[in-house]
Chain A
């Protein structure tokens, strides 16, 4: 079967793990799915902000507290940070060629994004639940 008789490993064993990075397809799809969601959410966000242009504090707070607005805001914040992490990952992989710097940057961005997303979601919940 093999030209080299000493090679006892199955060819599949040698091929495994040397192909793609395994999670690329899921990254690609998630980036597109979050993008499609953000088309709707970002347009809704811009229109909502425009409708609140010169609102005083009570009006702005009441608008965020409305159930639908609170729900869509939470969706917007989470999807926005998720899409940002995926996009920045690609940028870093393209331009940062020192492995440790790449890893540190990617982890730092992920930490910041989770922090930002949780802070945003918690703020909406505090407003919506009146705490």
Chain B
């Protein structure tokens, strides 16, 4: 029988949640979401290339409730992956690995991404509703 007294690594569901692991998981999740979101960019470009009717259809889809939910989600994913990506690029140079710095920069990515998404959607709303 295996010796169960050795320390076992807890799996996610019983792990104490910390911001460092949340930022790591979110970086992957938003990366996957953005990979799907690339299709939106291509759709927009194709619709402009193929003519006014296609472009109007694109605008109607994006202006629908589902479209707006997706756009808000994608814009946050973009800003989060951008902020946290810059954080990772700086960490690649060896910066910010002390635990307090690491925790602080984690929170910074989350908070700055939320601020940016609010600023962008405030811009959208103040210029007259979503299009």
A123 touches B38 (CB 8 A): no
A13 in the interface (beta carbon within 8 A): no
CA of A42 to CA of B23, assembled, Å: 20
Chain A residues with Cβ below 8 Å from B89 are 32, 35-36, 39
B92 touches A32 (CB 8 A): yes
The interface stretch among B1-9, B10-18, B104-112, B121-129 is: B121-129
Q: Interface size of B by Cβ–Cβ distance < 8 Å?
A: 30
Show the binding face of A for B, using Cβ within 8 Å.
32, 35-36, 38-39, 42-43, 45-46, 50, 53-54, 57, 60-61, 64, 73, 76-77, 80-81, 84, 87-88, 91, 113, 116, 119-120, 122-124, 126-127
- Closest CB in chain A relative to B11 CB, distance in Å: 15
List 15 interface pairs A-B (beta carbons < 8 Å), by A numbering: A39-B86, A46-B78, A53-B123, A54-B127, A57-B55, A60-B55, A80-B41, A88-B31, A88-B32, A88-B35, A122-B49, A123-B49, A124-B45, A124-B49, A127-B49
Show the binding face of B for A, using Cβ within 8 Å.
28, 31-32, 34-35, 38-39, 41-42, 45-46, 48-49, 52, 55-56, 75, 78, 82, 85-86, 88-89, 92, 120, 123-124, 127-128, 131
Choose one: B38, B92, B120, B127; the contact of A116 (CB below 8 Å).
B38
A123 touches B92 (CB 8 A): no
Interface centre among B42, B75, B89 (most CB of A within 10 A): B42
Chain A residues with Cβ below 8 Å from B38 are 80-81, 84, 113, 116
Find the A residue at minimum CB distance from B29: A91
